[in-house]
Structure 1
Amino acid sequence: PVAFMKGIVGKFFYQFGITVTFAVLVSLLVSFTLDPMLSSRWADPDMEGRGRRNLLFRWLERFNREFDRVAERYRRIIGWSLDHRKTVLFTGLGSFVAALFLAPYLGSSFMPTYDRAEFQVNFSAAPDAGLEESRGRMEQILGVLHDLQGVELTYGTIGAGETGTVREGSVYVKLKDRKDRRDTQEELEARARGSLSRIAGIIPSIIMADSMHGQKPINLNLRGDDLEVLQTYSERLKKMMAQIPGVVDVSSSLDQEKPELRLKVDRARAVHVGLSTAQVVSTLGPLVGGKVVTTYEDHDGDAYDVRVRLTEANRQDPTRIERLTLLSRGSDGKRVLVPVADVARMQLDISPAKIERLDLRRQVVLSGNTAGGVALGDAIEAIREGAATLGLPPGYGVSFSGEAEDMAETFRYIFEALALAVVFIYLILAAQFESFIDPLAIMLSLPLSLVGVVAVLYFTGDTLNIMSLIGLIMLMGLVTKNAILLVDYSKVLRADGLDRRSALIEAGRTRLRPIVMTTLAMIFGMLPLALALGPGAEMRAPMARAVIGGLVTSTMLTLVVVPVVYTLLDDFAQVLTRRLGFGKGH
């Protein structure tokens, strides 16, 4: 299921799922072929008792004696748990319920936040800013960034990309390695944010350097038809977002308004002199905006448009535009020239610098960052609750896009994969045990593993994200192993004539060693990843921490709770058999 997930998360973990699947298949082949052969060929003199035993063997022999004493104590624990089934059952259920209550406090995010040693500063200058003004703002920003202790290099661009304009720019900031600087990336970003806010004439924002969308993680889309209504409610939403703790760099696509000269045609007078609005536009458009009349090709073969329009002095002066004449025909059919001022008037107004649309409807985009350790999911939930109190008029609504949308989509696909993995596990166990009831006792270890996952993520300060959820899916296949060893051997002993209680106690005593061995092997294998050693290792650490926490609690609870649940389900199966009238052969 992990390998064939849809969406962005499927692209992330396709190789991961395929690699794990084939590695397990090869491991199965080796355990059936190579391991038995090597065990028959490699003789251990210490185990056979020949010669003088070395120090390592004596230490292992002492360890085995201690482990056998632990196994004997565990035999008594199983006996006690089988005599107090209600107590054990309610203890396991209480642990699971406590994990469910603790889970909302974890927070959620798309990817783990960690010190990447890099970030990006985006800025927008005034709507009428030219290249020189933007360059000046860029130099001010670079001066602020270079004053930060820990910045290694910066790289700034203005108007980059297909949709970039000369009033927009970005600065890539590379920090020194974590060991070479005193402050964390989050502290440096907060310091830069405070200094950049004091630069006049720009709207700055700090985003992740390798962001897939190249924008802030929080993007709230307010949609509707009337631009004035959108502007009114966007201001309320912006004020509400800025008051939420941990939400910073709040901005709106309507923030920067620009002066606009509007030409309003008096249609009655225009018709009277034989003109239409389209004729006015077709005449003044090329004069003011320009018209491409030909192309020029240089010696390198690059082609450039040649645009003809009025000089800048004539374009910038409204009175000169009003004196322009329009060609019309009088009632007698003769051509006449009509001044623009006779059929239209100029009006100075304010308009948004940018108007966006989504699904053919106008929208205002309000964006923001998270800071202070606030999880993206918590910030989005707070914004959603605040937006619900505004009372938007009919026909207007809000939605999230960008990283918030990716997170919601990713969680949906991961939980679908999780449900599919559980179904596959049940079907395989039902086929192997030839029973639809026995696998239920084994699968009880799945919810018991959630106790450790939630507890470890909570105490390490991690969130529910792609990595921790992938670790949760891995647990689905790992934690059932312990219960399989226990239940399978107890069924073998019962088939040999032991009663159910004795079979469970003996199975627990015998299978304790392989259960502890495999669990410790997985825990110590994940430990370097969980400790987040090395730069960038924090990104993968939540996966290992989720696996370790789930293995610890699942193993501890499985060794006690699973035998109890197995007896309860066995009693239920016997009652069901008697009521349905099945014979013993069934």
Structure 2
Amino acid sequence: MCLRNWRTRKTDSENRPAAVFIVQGSSVRVPLGLFNLEQSSKAVVVDGNITTLDDLKKLTIPVTPGAGSAQGQSGTAGATGQGAGGAGAAAGAGAGNAAASVQGGQAGVPAGIPTVKLSDIADIKVVGSAESVSRTNGKASIGLQIVKDNDANTVDVVNAVKDKAKDLEGQFKGMELTVLLDQGKPIEDSVSTMLDKAVFGALFAVIIILIFLRNIRSTIISILSIPLSLLIALLILWRLDITLNMMTLGAMTVAIGRVVDDSIVVIENIYRRLTSSGEKLRGRELIREATREMFVPIMSSTIVTIAVFLPLAFVTGMVGELFMPFALTMVFALLASLLVAITLVPMLAHSLFKKGIKSSKQHDHDKPGRMARGYQRILNWALSHKLITFGSAVILLVASFFLTPLIGTSFLPDQEDKYIMVTYSPEPGAQLETVEKRALEAEKYILSQPNIDKMQYSVGGSGNPLAGGSSSNSGLFYVEYNKDTKDFENVKKNLVEGLKKQVSTGEWSLMDMSGGMGGSSLSVSVYGNSLDDIKPVSEQILKLVQADKDNFEKAKTSLTKAYDQYTIVADQQKLSSMGLTAGQIAMKLSPVRERPVLTEVTVDNKDYKVYIETDNKEYKSINDIANETVQSPLGMNVPIKDVAKVEKGTSPDTITRNDGKMVVDVTANIVTSNVGKASSDLQKEIDKIDLPDGVEVKFGGTTQQINDTFTQLGLAMAAAIAIVYFVLVVTFGGGLAPFAILFSLPFTIIGGLVGLWIGGETLNVSALMGALMLIGIVVTNAIVLIDRVIHKEREGLSTREALLEAGATRLRPILMTALATIGALLPLVSGLENSAGIISRGLGITVIGGLVSSTLLTLVIVPVVYEFLMKFRKPKVED
């Protein structure tokens, strides 16, 4: 509701404040507290009793300059007090206004003072007051943001909203609904991509098993463990109310190669004994004994692999939350695979091999094959030349670390979405109408660009939480491009640069849409006790960042927006002589910038805010403000320059405090993939700055995320290794054999780093998760080998003989499990267009590379270390 079209004399502009303060002062309801009346405490309340539209129209306003000034003076004092005191001063402000009105009626205003009804001097109308403007694809629109509950399924909510939207379009003629940001679609795309990769991974694993076993029935038995294990895992997830999402599906994709391992080991042992001419057992007894023989190694292997994920429970932050569903899914799938391997596999083997193996395949395993004999020769040489063998492996390990600077580090894999958000921050005080005109120019420019699918912008309101900026009239532009858009990075940059040329007033910036999910940003915070101390330091850091154009772009500080500031310094002596206050100067100037709400009234059971429609007056220079006049109680128009002086200075757009200290942030986008190196190089340059006393510099942004996450995952790996060692000690009943098994772990680094370097991937969180998984996978192969060695030693073979025999016997299952895991992960690193999110190429490459190097070296290094350590074993006392 608006007061407009004032019908007064030439003193219109001077009498209008009187009406403003009368409305404000008359509509109050002020509790004055308890008074001791009539021998008891009574509550007293001052009620202006202006609640309806009729009350407002009948309100009388004094029209003499003196009365207006008196009212204005009293009201001003109250208003100033309210502004200074905040919400707590509201009652006091109202009381001041009410008291002033009473005094004016009794002493300050003569009887019979001319008055006029408010409805006689102003039109009181309900007007539209759009606080924001939204347009979509060049048409006026209303933007709706729908946020799901925390426990709701994103895809289900999105699909339900789309169905309702179709119904609405049918109900309202001419209405068009456009979906701008659909978070369900990328999830559906990722799920579809992950399922495709899972299917291809399973096919690769089947082919590898078939090549090694060369038996259809054995292959069928092995591969049945894949769907059964995953199905059991799905049932457990369902019972625990864990949704099927990118992380759980990613875990199943990665688990495909691992869940088949236990079944491979069991069926290979059964098949080997069935085809051995020296085997004495037959039928059910043979299968039971072959399964029992492998139970300890596969159980300990599964427990070890599960134990690797336990420390993830202590990883905090986003990474811990993201990877917990991944870890739980892996654990459930591995437990299910163990169950299948010791129950279903022997049962199917007994059913399918009732008639045994054809005679042509007998004696296949009486003697080692050609590959096994070649491996025995290599192993025998390595055992005889331990120093050369181990030294060569260590040299390869050390050499691989030199690849680290070439690989670089980052936080999460980059995900290139074909949409951007651009923010527009106008100069402080810019009116909504002005910003809207600029937004229309920007809209026209954006829609003229190629490959634009959708475009929407919103301007004004209470300040868009996404847009930020110094003005509530900031603008947020959403632009979605065609999926086939090439060189998207340059497209984004060119659009922003074009907008800066099209609308040069204000500031355009590209919003960082990473949210920690793949984007890289620099944030350096300078802390200090005063702005004078931290501003020079922040400017030095800004220059360092701007100079490093190979690594950073769009560098700025939180003080970048520094505006010229004019301070009107009141001369209290002159003001007092005129009967004025500094608050009256502020009130005189403030209506130009704001539209204050006077009161609220009720019309037809609807509440309306009442405000005054001010002249759209703009000052062209500071002289215009200095020449503005303020009316004194005597009716004189006093120029502001006569009672105050103007001082010029600068003012930062925002000043931030943290823990009681002032903070200036230096931010930039990191354009290099090697985030770690860029940050460390900048850190070295910042360390050279001579910081004043009390000034401190801290890194934030992606750098802080990398440091925190890498530290936590590093500790998780150390804890995982300790847990693995404990499990192995319990399994083998001693500490030397487990210690030899752990020597397979360091050499995973060789293949992992080489793989990342060849694949062009950085060392990120995804790669570190792959390294964590490798701890369990690699140890599994070593367990299968050493378990056989220990059994043969107990049968009377020497350590060397046991190592050679176990190596030849366990070579095939070790290679089969390793290659099956690699084959299952190959689709993950194939570089399919649809991103798999965090479960990305980095994880797959790390596991594949580490598995290749560790498997080859496990077959050599672990036996070498084992034979060396057995020299320190205490001989058992014979009974």
TM-score bracket, normalised by the shorter chain, equals: 0.7 to 0.9
Partner-residue secondary structure (3-state), 1:398: strand
Q: 2:560 aligns with which of 255, 267, 286?
A: 255
The answer to whether residue 478 in structure 2 is matched with residue 172 in structure 1 is yes
Q: Deviations over 1:150-189 (max 9, x none)?
A: 4433333335524663453333332322xx34x2333433
For residues 409 and 301 of structure 1, what CA distance do their matches in structure 2 show? 54
The answer to whether residue 494 in structure 2 is matched with residue 185 in structure 1 is no
Partner of 1:547: 847
Partner of 1:458: 757
Deviation at 1:351, TM superposition (A): 1.0
2:774 is aligned with what amino acid?
A: L
**What is the 5 A alignment of 1:223-262?**
223-244=527-548, 245-262=550-567
1:186 is aligned with what amino acid?
A: E
1:14 is aligned with what amino acid?
A: M
Partner of 2:741: 442
Partner of 1:24: 334
- In the superposition, the TM-score normalised over structure 1's length comes to 0.83
Partner of 1:85: 386
Q: 1:367 aligns with which of 664, 667, 670?
A: 667
Deviation at 1:397, TM superposition (A): 1.9
Deviation at 1:359, TM superposition (A): 2.0
**What is the 5 A alignment of 1:171-570?**
171-177=477-483, 180-181=484-485, 183-192=486-495, 194-196=497-499, 198=501, 200-212=504-516, 217-244=521-548, 245-265=550-570, 269=573, 284-289=585-590, 293-295=598-600, 301=606, 304=609, 306=611, 312=617, 317-319=624-626, 323=630, 344-371=644-671, 373-537=672-836, 539=838, 540-570=840-870
Partner-residue secondary structure (3-state), 1:447: coil
Partner of 1:332: none
2:513·2:519 contact (CA, 8 Å) conserved in 1? no
Q: Deviations over 1:436-469 (max 9, x none)?
A: 2221111111111111111111121111222111
Partner of 2:48: none
For residues 615 and 421 of structure 2, what CA distance do their matches in structure 1 show? 40
CA RMSD in angstroms, aligned pairs only: 3.7
Partner-residue secondary structure (3-state), 2:746: helix
Structure number with higher relative contact order (C-alpha < 8 Å, ≥ 6 residues apart): 1
Partner of 1:36: 346
For residues 783 and 815 of structure 2, what CA distance do their matches in structure 1 show? 14
Deviation at 1:261, TM superposition (A): 2.5
Deviation at 1:196, TM superposition (A): 4.9
The answer to whether residue 369 in structure 2 is matched with residue 68 in structure 1 is yes
1:204·1:249 contact (CA, 8 Å) conserved in 2? no
For residues 376 and 560 of structure 1, what CA distance do their matches in structure 2 show? 37
For residues 28 and 143 of structure 1, what CA distance do their matches in structure 2 show? 63
2:419 is aligned with what amino acid?
A: E
For residues 367 and 762 of structure 2, what CA distance do their matches in structure 1 show? 39
Partner-residue secondary structure (3-state), 2:750: helix
2:491 is aligned with what amino acid?
A: L
Partner of 1:98: 399
Partner-residue secondary structure (3-state), 2:541: helix
For residues 42 and 69 of structure 1, what CA distance do their matches in structure 2 show? 28
Say which one has the larger Rg. Answer: 2
More off after superposition, 116-125 vs 106-115: 116-125
Structure 2 portions without partners, runs of 5+ = 1-310
For residues 374 and 489 of structure 1, what CA distance do their matches in structure 2 show? 45
1:221·1:400 contact (CA, 8 Å) conserved in 2? yes
**What is the 5 A alignment of 1:146-165?**
146=447, 149-159=450-460, 161-162=464-465, 165=471
- In the superposition, the TM-score normalised over structure 2's length comes to 0.57
For residues 809 and 828 of structure 2, what CA distance do their matches in structure 1 show? 32
Aligned residue-pair number: 554
Partner of 1:48: 357
For residues 216 and 123 of structure 1, what CA distance do their matches in structure 2 show? 22
1:325·1:339 contact (CA, 8 Å) conserved in 2? no
Structure 1 portions without partners, runs of 5+ = 328-336
Deviation at 1:511, TM superposition (A): 0.5
Deviation at 1:250, TM superposition (A): 1.1
Q: Deviations over 1:90-128 (max 9, x none)?
A: 111112212223223322222112433233333433334
Partner-residue secondary structure (3-state), 2:403: helix
1:286·1:308 contact (CA, 8 Å) conserved in 2? no
Q: Deviations over 1:27-46 (max 9, x none)?
A: 1111111111111112387x
Distance 1:187 1:554, change over 3 A: farther
Distance 1:469 1:107, change over 3 A: same
For residues 430 and 214 of structure 1, what CA distance do their matches in structure 2 show? 40
1:121·1:207 contact (CA, 8 Å) conserved in 2? yes
For residues 274 and 124 of structure 1, what CA distance do their matches in structure 2 show? 41
For residues 725 and 625 of structure 2, what CA distance do their matches in structure 1 show? 78
Deviation at 1:203, TM superposition (A): 3.6
